[in-house]
Amino acid sequence: MSKFAIRLMTLAIFSTALIAAPLLTARTAAAGGEPTPSESPPPAKSKKRSENGTRFDTAFVDGYRAAYATIYDRNDYASAIALLKALGHDDNAAVANLIGYSYRKLGDYKVSQAWYERALKADPNHVKTWQYYGLWQVEQGNRDQAQYHLSRIAAISGTTSEEYRSLADALEKPPGTGLVY
């Protein structure tokens, strides 16, 4: 599967999760049941909830999609950073991870690292952050740390996930090849 198709699928899954969470909650409430801890109460009109219960309005979802396309379709990382920061959800792991990724692609490794750590603080199981931060570690020559990131991905999503395979492939390359991921 091409990288573009994988990215498109990831965006579709994220968008579906944002849309499906309120629908599942509404169905539970309509059936007379109490929402389980993993479900959220019905959101306010024109709001969507993520899996962790954070409310996002449609402007956030549209802005996130625009930033995502700016990164992966146009490789315009500086513009993407501005779009992501304008969303006002820097504490969201997906947002912080993409900001970190964009800084890494611009070569600002110190700032990138801070954003990856912020993403993991927001969600210690955010597998995409473990992948991107692991690739950051490979680029910096920190192969032992990258191996640790790989083990975290395995624990969260298994060894057959795209994130695991990507970082494992990077670790299989000889050190010092100068590859940038």
CATH number at residue 18: 1.25.40.10
Residue 73 covered by a domain: yes
pLDDT tens-place string over residues 27-74: 333 333 333 232 222 333 345 555 555 555 889 999 999 999 999 999
Residue 77 covered by a domain: yes
Residue 145 covered by a domain: no
Residue 172 CA to residue 152 CA, distance in Å, equals 17
Residue 169 covered by a domain: no
Residue 164 covered by a domain: no
The per-residue pLDDT of the chain, averaged, comes to: 79
Output the pLDDT for position 14: 52
Whether the predicted pLDDT of 117 surpasses 60: yes
Residue 140 covered by a domain: no
CB atoms within 10 A of CB 14: 18
How many domains are contained in the chain? 1
Residue 9 covered by a domain: yes
Question: In what helix (H) or strand (E) does residue 48 lie, and over which residues does it extend?
Answer: strand 47-49
Residue 153 vs residues 29, 61, 69, 134: alpha-carbon distances, Å: 35, 26, 25, 10
Residue 151 covered by a domain: no
Sign of dihedral through CA atoms 71, 77, 83, 86? Answer: positive
pLDDT tens-place string over residues 75-99: 999 999 999 999 999 999 999 999 9
The CA dihedral of 79, 81, 87, 91, to the nearest 10 degrees, is: 170
What's the domain range around 74? Answer: 3-124
Output the pLDDT for position 35: 30
